[in-house]
Amino acid sequence: MNGRRTGAGFENALPLINDPNAAFEAMRAKMPARDQEIMRRLDALEEVYVECGRDKVLSEAFATFMRKYLTRKLQRRKHANVFFLTGPSGAGKTEAVERLLRQHPALQPEQTSYGIRKRYVSISLKGYVLPRIIAENIMTAAGHPVGKTGRGDAWNHVTDALMRRGVSLVHIDETQHIVKDKGKEGENEELANAIKGISNSPTWPIAFVLSGLPRIIKLPFDDEQFERRYRWVDFPDLDMDKERMLVVRILRKLTAAVGMNIGNMSDTDTPERLAHSCRNRYARVCEGVVEAIHLALDADLGTTELTREHFAQAWTNQTRAAKVKLYNPFIVDDWSGLPAGSYLGVPGDERE
């Protein structure tokens, strides 16, 4: 025996991918030239962010949060706080908070002789996970090796692990996945107590930013001592009576990024139709515009004007509803009488 594994498949086994980005770029390079041009313009869209009033509210609230966190008491560090950002799905919470953290001067990464030192780490919950796994994910994101831990033990190592890495703030996105209405109350309390304990550390208090659906308020941070250290910002749905021009700015800025325009769309009810089709959610409006632009470019790379017909077709492509024209908010006259959003079927025909 020479120590080598033999048999079906082993002789021809491919080496592991060491550079995922290079593999991704190799795939892109094989796309037809026309598709590559469309992707180039879609790439440009991904760089666009349309600021609005809620970004100012978020920035000012977070500035207050960070000033309090970095204030000393008798030349010693104070306990840290918890910052909550809530809003419905599609409100744009993730991009807004990631952009906020990425641009904050106190949280900029530092280049050292040993590599880049992060000042914050961000993790996203893709579904329900045990609190212990959240602790392990936080340490892994900080670049700290994680060994085998028992239930609850992982949180005992987080403070030391983050202090060694110089990490002062933890962002947990999609926090609602840990909050269960039934059957998980003990684990909800376990997470809340762990966060409270780490933020109260006398040696290295960690600040937390928790973002997610409004039900994250069910995390049991209900003792009076901790209640004083909350900071909340909520992203509500768009109010088209007051924010119509925001939707118009989104349309103009995104189309301009790919060399297009919206013609006289701002003088029509298309902005209202768009918001209605997207449940009046900021991020969903942006996504709806991107989908319409993608469709327009696919139909004609030389197109220069985005039209309501592009939105109508893009909406149709996202639904399998029978007699879809009857429910398409970009086609029917009484669009405001339709349920907001798009459907996977005719409204009301949902089945188990």
* Per-residue pLDDT tens digits for 259-281: 999 999 999 999 999 999 999 99
Q: Is residue 9's pLDDT more than 70?
A: no
Q: Is residue 210's pLDDT more than 50?
A: yes
Domain positions in the chain: 53-234, 238-337
| Better-scored residue on pLDDT, 244 or 351 | 244
Q: Is 259 left (phi over 0), alpha (psi -120 to 50) or beta?
A: left
* Per-residue pLDDT tens digits for 75-125: 778 888 899 999 999 999 999 999 999 999 999 999 887 778 899 999 999
Q: Sorting pLDDT into bands at 50, 70 and 90, what band is 222?
A: low
* Per-residue pLDDT tens digits for 39-63: 999 999 999 999 999 999 999 999 9
Q: Sorting pLDDT into bands at 50, 70 and 90, what band is 240?
A: very high
Q: Mean pLDDT across the stretch 197-208?
A: 91
Q: Is residue 301's pLDDT more than 90?
A: yes
Superfamily of domain 53-234: P-loop containing nucleotide triphosphate hydrolases (3.40.50.300)
Q: Mean pLDDT across the stretch 69-79?
A: 83
Measured distance CA(101)–CA(164) in Å, rounded = 21
Query: In the Cβ-directed half-sphere of 65, how many Cα atoms lie within 13 Å?
Result: 25
Q: Which residues contact 111 (CB under 8 A, 6 or more apart)?
A: 117
Report pLDDT for 183: 45
Q: What percent of the chain stands above pLDDT 90?
A: 62
Report pLDDT for 118: 93
CA 329 vs CA 75, 237, 309, 343, 350: distances in Å: 60, 18, 11, 11, 20
Q: Mean pLDDT across the stretch 244-256?
A: 98
Q: Are 233 and 211 in contact (CB under 8 A)?
A: no
Q: What percent of the chain stands above pLDDT 70?
A: 85
* Per-residue pLDDT tens digits for 150-185: 555 789 999 999 999 999 999 999 999 887 654 455
Beta strands in the chain, from DSSP E residues, in sequence order: 72-73, 76-77, 82-86, 110-112, 115-117, 120-124, 169-173, 207-212, 230-234
Least confident of 35-39, 63-67, 112-116: 112-116
Q: Mean pLDDT across the stretch 321-345?
A: 80
Q: Is residue 6's pLDDT more than 60?
A: no
Q: Sorting pLDDT into bands at 50, 70 and 90, what band is 20?
A: confident
Q: Is the dihedral of CA 64, 101, 162, 155 positive or negative?
A: positive
Least confident of 31-35, 71-75, 219-223, 337-341: 219-223
Q: Sorting pLDDT into bands at 50, 70 and 90, what band is 148?
A: low
